[in-house]
Structure 1
Amino acid sequence: MSESETAAILANPEALMRMAQSEAELARGEVVTGDELAAAMAERRNDETATRPAE
């Protein structure tokens, strides 16, 4: 990450809030494995494909 990217994040209150929320979730043990994340993403792609109108 570049210095300008870091500065942009530090200047963004919403980004800082989301990072704090993420850190709190990690501290509570609210995590998913890479396999769980991949499965959730695949399911989401399948759901989006199923609801997309035919061309």
Structure 2
Amino acid sequence: MTTEKLIRETTRKLQERLISRIAEEKAYDVPAFCVAIGLMNGTKPKRQSMRP
């Protein structure tokens, strides 16, 4: 297994764990959730304030 693949796999697992943890705690910290979703999609978070 190449280093790059290992890093990608580890990152993906950490992101999944992070997202499930946020969902579990029903954290209504919208920016953090958006960043987590952005990480999953491989995009950078947009700088915008979100209010529920």
Q: What TM-score do you get using the length of structure 1 for normalisation? A: 0.38
Larger helix proportion of the pair: 1
Instruction: Using CA pairs under 8 Å that are at least 6 residues apart, name the structure with larger relative contact order, 1 or 2.
Output: 2
